[in-house]
Amino acid sequence: MREHELILHNGHVLTLDAGSRTAEAIGVSAGVVSALGASAEVLAGRGHATRVIDLEGATVCPGFYDSHAHMDREGLKARGGFSLAGRHSVKDIVEGVRLGVERTPPGEWAVFMPLGTPKLNYIHRPDQLEEGRFPTRHDLDAVSPDNPVYIRVPWGWWVHRPFVSIANTRALELAGIGPETQAPYNVEILREGNGEPTGVFLDRSYAPVIEYTLLRCAPRITFEDRVAGCRLGSAAYAAAGTTSIYEGHGLTPAILDAYRRVHEDGDLTVRSHLPLSVPGASVDDRRLAQVVEEWATRLGHRGSGDDMLRFEGICVDVANEKTAAIIGEDYPYEAWAGHFYHSLDHERFVKIGIEAARLGIRLSCLICYEIERVLQAYEAIDAVVPIRDRRWVMVHVIEATDDQIARMKRLGVIATVTPNFMYMASDRFNLQEIGERAIPIRRLLDAGVPVSLSSDNVPYSMLWTMWEALARWDADSGRTLGDSQLGREEALRLVTRTGPLIGFEEHRKGTLELGKLADMVALDANPLTCEQGHLKEIAVMRTFVGGRETFGPDMDDIGPVDGMPLG
């Protein structure tokens, strides 16, 4: 009998195979599942070098697949500035600023992470603070006489609008912001009675523009910050049980290079499938075509890379054209986004899609509430170069008619869905009004459209995402947005089995079967039988990628990352 390199026994193994079989134990050799069965049977393959773990009744299931992860952004939370987490009063915020300034040389910028506490308690209203107001430049000036201070704007999907950022007087002076300064698109400059800015800015663009406009002189995120962000984000996602990601937005060349660096260092703990986000709003058609062609050998067909890191495909979107124009002017820099904002009209969309299809490059597109616009573009591309067997991706399916879903099925696309948007429904695509028609997972599945769930980093736990897909809970209104009509096992498969379809990897991962990759997670409760509300609270005990432990009790404790100074 072949000796196993790793054995997990005395547990409850959910294989999620076609027969929904379960086992007490699982053996791993050479990175793949080599045994499944009763504990005594699997333990018979134990050798002198076998690592044996007693699960003590814990549940093991396939590792989670996040099909729109923003994993690098989670890590950036530890590089974006000093943390203000847990400080929910002006007094405490000012004290946090004082401590950060003390660690900053005189005259240099002191940059802080946004107001509030990750993951779901960022500040967007003054009444969320004890004093019922935001800190002003005067509050910050009292503890920063020699340093420009900037409290960053949060990324738009972490919190409700408006998105708050604050600067002290010295920072305003360096930025040239005064009584006559005009506010850029979708930004409000709060002012005192005499017209002087208070130092508080309210940004209402989901991709905030203040660091591209008024505060562009503030310290920017560097490439080394990006590398650290990928490294820290990988550890954090592994700690949440995620073993594979697909980046629905696509990533800039700098982020792709940062991932490459982390992989070369041996620190990439999550299998990462990454498309390139092309700069549609930043270059003309000729240059856009050149970018696609230049990357074709790396991104075409099944892409380039290995089992841990693969570059494949491109991503576009149809975002707000005014926001896209502002961000595009700063190309190739990207702030929190890690991707370029686009505003492609139909003609440009079809052109780039046809070029990609001819080169064998898969296209992903953020559709949000523009599903008809994107469907028409996909159909026009398909009429020239058939895409029906290429598994193109439609990201953020928010709402769709039965006819639109049938057209998605005909095109052979994969839908990625972010149930977490329903948690803040009043500020997410009018979801509170769409109600039961929002996030139409059931109807997509019934029509035969593959659906993969994604966290979008809001928050990044796929167990939380699974819970929201089932509960459809809107915390704003305190009600459910209709019945999910999903079974518990069906929902678990949406965070384990469907994602691998994106990379044509369903024969290698997504279930625990003999010969498949040993990507798995050990949980302290069974997600199929626990109380539904407990799903989001289940603790991840261990995570394995190819049988290699990427998170566990014997490793450094890795969790949410927030609070290291800017690199």
Give the pLDDT confidence of 305-351 residue by residue, as tens digits.
999 999 999 999 888 889 989 998 888 888 887 787 888 899 999 99
CATH code for residues 4-57 = 2.30.40.10
Phi, psi of 440 (to 5 degrees): -80, 60
Q: What average pLDDT does the chain have?
A: 94
Q: Hey, what are 218's tokens? A: 């503030």
d(CA 57, CA 51) in angstroms, rounded, equals 18
Looking at 114-123, 144-153, 521-530, which range is the least confident one? 114-123
Q: Are 257 and 229 in contact (CB under 8 A)?
A: no
Task: Check residue 343 and give its pLDDT.
Answer: 84
Q: Within 10 Å of residue 162's Cβ, how many Cβ atoms?
A: 19
pLDDT of residue 151: 98
Domain ranges for the chain: 4-57, 82-212, 223-504
Q: How far apart are CA 414 and CA 246, in angstroms?
A: 12
State how far the Cα of 469 lies from the Cα of 485, in Å rounded to an integer. 10
pLDDT of residue 566: 33
State the pTM of this model.
0.95
Model confidence over 53-77: pLDDT tens digits? 999 999 999 999 999 999 999 999 9
- SS3 category, 145: coil
Spell out the residues 6+ positions from residue 425 whose beta carbon is closer than 8 angstroms to its own: 431, 432, 438, 474, 476, 477, 481
Distance in angstroms (rounded) separating the CA atoms of residues 123 and 87: 10
Residues 431, 398 contacting (CB under 8 angstroms): yes
pLDDT tens, residue by residue, 216-245:
999 999 999 999 999 999 999 999 999 999
Fold adopted by 223-504: TIM Barrel (3.20.20)
DSSP states of 277-321? E--TTTS-HHHHHHHHHHHHHHHSTT-EE-SSEEEEEEEEEB--H
Contact criterion met (CB below 8 Å) for 415 and 460: no
Contact 304, 297 (CB under 8 A): yes
At residue 119, the pLDDT reads 82
Q: What is the pLDDT of residues 241-270, one digit of tens each?
A: 999 999 988 899 999 999 999 999 999 999
pLDDT at 282 over 90: no
Quote helix, strand, coil % in the chain, to nearest 5: 30, 25, 45
Check residue 477 and give left, alpha or beta (phi > 0: left; psi -120 to 50: alpha): alpha
pLDDT score at 65: 98
Q: What is the pLDDT of residue 183?
A: 98
- What pLDDT shows up at residue 421? 95
User: Which pLDDT score, from 0 to 100, does residue 138 have?
Assistant: 98
Q: Which helix (H) or strand (E) holds 171?
A: helix 169-175
For the segment 103-115, the average pLDDT, to the nearest whole number, is 97
8 A C-beta contact, residue 162 and residue 204: yes
Q: Is the pLDDT of residue 567 over 50?
A: no
User: Which pLDDT tens digit goes with each residue over 8-59?
Assistant: 999 999 999 999 999 999 999 999 999 999 999 999 999 999 999 999 999 9
- Answer whether residue 120 shows pLDDT above 90: no
pLDDT of res. 556: 58
Q: For residue 248, what are the contacts with CB-CB under 8 A and spacing of at least 6?
A: 67, 68, 69, 315, 364, 366, 393, 395, 396, 416, 454, 456
- Between 154-158, 208-212, 384-388, the lowest mean confidence (pLDDT) is in 154-158
Task: Please give the single-letter amino acid code of residue 32.
Answer: V
Name the phi and psi angles at 545, rounded to 5: -120, 115
Confidence at 1, pLDDT banded by 50, 70, 90: low
CA–CA dist 150, 525 (Å, integer): 43
Q: Are strands 197-203 and 163-167 parallel, antiparallel or unpaired?
A: antiparallel
SS (H, E, C) 447-490: CCCCEEECCCCCCCCHHHHHHHHHHCEECCCCEECCCCCCCHHH
Question: Which pLDDT band holds residue 187 (cuts at 50, 70, 90)?
Answer: very high
Q: For residue range 430-442, list pLDDT tens digits in order.
A: 899 999 999 999 9
Query: Quick one: pLDDT at residue 485?
Result: 98
Q: CB within 8 A of 537, min separation 6: which ones?
A: none
CB-side exposure of 445: number of CA atoms within 13 Å? 17
Residue 429 pLDDT greater than 90, yes or no:
no
pLDDT band at 563 (very low <50, low <70, confident <90, very high): very low
Which tens digit of pLDDT belongs to each residue from 443-475?
999 999 999 999 999 999 999 999 999 999 999
Q: What is the pLDDT of residue 339?
A: 81
Query: What H or E segment, with its residue span, contains residue 22?
Result: strand 22-23
- Closest alpha carbon to 51 in 484, 544, 527: 544
Residue 1 near residue 50, CB atoms below 8 Å: no
Query: Residue 559's pLDDT is what?
Result: 45
The DSSP letter of residue 436 is: G
DSSP string covering 195-251, please?
Answer: S-EEEEEEE-SSS--GGGTTTTTSPPPPHHHHHHHHHHHHHHHHHTTEEEEE-TT-B
